[in-house]
Amino acid sequence: MLVIVAPGQGAQAPGFLEPWLEDPVFENRLHWLSAVAGLDLAHYGTKADADTIRDTAIAQPLLVASSMLAALAVFPHPGDAFTKMGALAGHSVGEIAAAVGAGVISAEQAMVLVRERGKAMAAAAAQTATSMTAVLGGDRDEILAKLEQYGLTAANDNGPGQIVAAGTVEELAALAADPPAKTRLVPLSVAGAFHTKHMEPAVRTLAGYARSITTHDPRSRLISNRDGQIVHDGRDVLQRLVQQVNAPVRWDLCMQTMADLQVTGILEMTPAGTLTGIAKRVLKGVETFALKTPDQLDDARAFVDKHGSPSEIDASPTWRLLVAPMKGTFTRESQVTREPGDTVEAGEVVATVKSLRDELEVRAPHGGIVVEWLVEEGDPVAPGQPLVRLHPSAVN
């Protein structure tokens, strides 16, 4: 199985788009996204220095545009992607690019959302002196206890030995003076404590914009930063994109879901390298490909052909599928068991999926009429596996 991933803030480097802009198609598309974002992305991706593109309001639109356009270069006919990719994920702001790849929102909607996200997060960061520090190595439980002791948040949990602490500069200074055992602390050059309570003003701003965005249900498995779950309701995806601004990025759980899916290949979009680097350490035996320059495109397509398989949930829009949010055991709702022909109300719980880690309800966000159950009671299910097919009722 192939998973396509998009990197988050910090992956950018001066001049990383220079070779891409030699392609007039890529250049024209970037100019269009620049017009939507109100930023000269070509300039920032080729001529601007590291300090300039570190600015949150610039870095975020630049990263999302770059990942989206690199994906278009791999799949010149975008619909072909759904015959190859088994899942998508994006780290932090990269999740916006992943949502576009899954068909939840359009590229233009993404650029407006990420433009306002970057501006709002920069404004929130300016209110209090905050920052972030990578905590490398050590024992996870000991690290989390030490962060709690000093009022810090594990803003990014990227797997064993890779936790990013975030909070005020005073809190981070206290951590530096009393670090967890067997760890190395690396202060990050960022504008603020992203994915913490300090970003709450940005969440309120984005929630207002989100109310005006139309969505579609994902056409492929979309792995959420919040908890590693597969999300298959477009409005839920958008809500999570808003809420993730002040919520920790659980990339460790995203990779656990990839392992549960038995992924064999991970393709990272431009500017690539960060997420494939983490995957090499955590997902042993999984092949990775970091797409950095256009001269790699033929090899990237060969990688896609090697690992690709059709998405199970690329279904006709006249049907609605409810899918498993995680790996576990399927159980139909015992209170009111729905059979083919029965109506399911919007928001109704129709099943649960239970794992060693959690037990989650599966709700029908829009309701509909049961066409068929696709799994049996007690079946083991994979993340994103279709459970039941619904036909939209007249009121939906």
Burial of 119 (0-12, 13-18, 19+ CB in 10 A): middle
Q: Which of 307, 332, 360 is the last residue of a domain?
A: 307
| DSSP sequence for 287-320 | EEEE--SGGGHHHHHHHHHHH----TT---TTSE
132 and 117, same domain (yes or no): no
Is 250 inside any structural domain? yes
Same domain? For 302 and 213 the reply is yes
Question: Could you tell me if 43 and 88 lie in one domain?
Answer: yes
What is the average per-residue pLDDT within 2-23?
95
Q: Which residues of 246-277 are buried (b: 16+ CB within 10 A; e: fewer)?
A: bbbbbbbbbbbbbbbbebbbbbbbbbbbbbbe
Percent of the chain at pLDDT > 70 equals: 98
Provide the pLDDT for residue 318: 54
Please check whether residues 41 and 112 belong to one and the same domain. yes
- Provide the pLDDT for residue 58: 95
Of residues 362, 264, 268, 267, the one with CA closest to residue 320: 362
Catalytic residues: 92, 195
Once rounded to an integer, what is the mean pLDDT over residues 181-204? 92
CATH number at residue 324: 2.40.50.100
Under 8 Å CB-to-CB from 55, ≥6 apart: which residues? 122, 191
What's the pLDDT band for 395 if we cut at 50, 70, 90? very low
> What 3 state SS string does 45-84 have?
HHCCCHHHHHCHHHHHHHHHHHHHHHHHHHCCCHHHHHHC
Residue range 341-349: mean pLDDT, rounded: 90
Rounded CA separation 286/176 (Å): 35
Residue 197 has pLDDT above 80, yes or no: yes
Do 89 and 204 sit in the same domain of this protein? yes
Residues 27 and 137 placed together within one structural domain of the fold: no
The yes-or-no verdict on residue 316 having pLDDT over 70 is no
At which of 264, 285, 307 does a domain end?
307
Q: What is the pLDDT of residues 354-379, one digit of tens each?
A: 998 889 999 998 888 999 999 999 99
> For the chain, what is the domain count?
3
Both tokens of 185, joined, read 């602390």
Nearest to 322 by CA among 236, 395, 384, 377: 384
Q: Do 235 and 263 belong together in one domain?
A: yes
Q: Are residues 113 and 214 in the same domain?
A: yes
In a domain, 18, yes or no: yes
- What's the CA gap between 221 and 232, in Å, rounded? 7
Residues 94 and 236 in one domain: yes
pLDDT classification of 396: cutoffs 50, 70, 90: very low
Q: Which domain holds residue 170?
A: 127-187
If asked whether residues 303 and 326 sit together in one domain, one would say no
Where a domain ends, among 139, 168, 187?
Answer: 187
Do both 147 and 261 map to the same domain? no
Residue 80 pLDDT exceeds 90: no
Residues 120 and 131 in one domain: no
Task: Dig out the tokens for 217 from the structure.
Answer: 């249900």
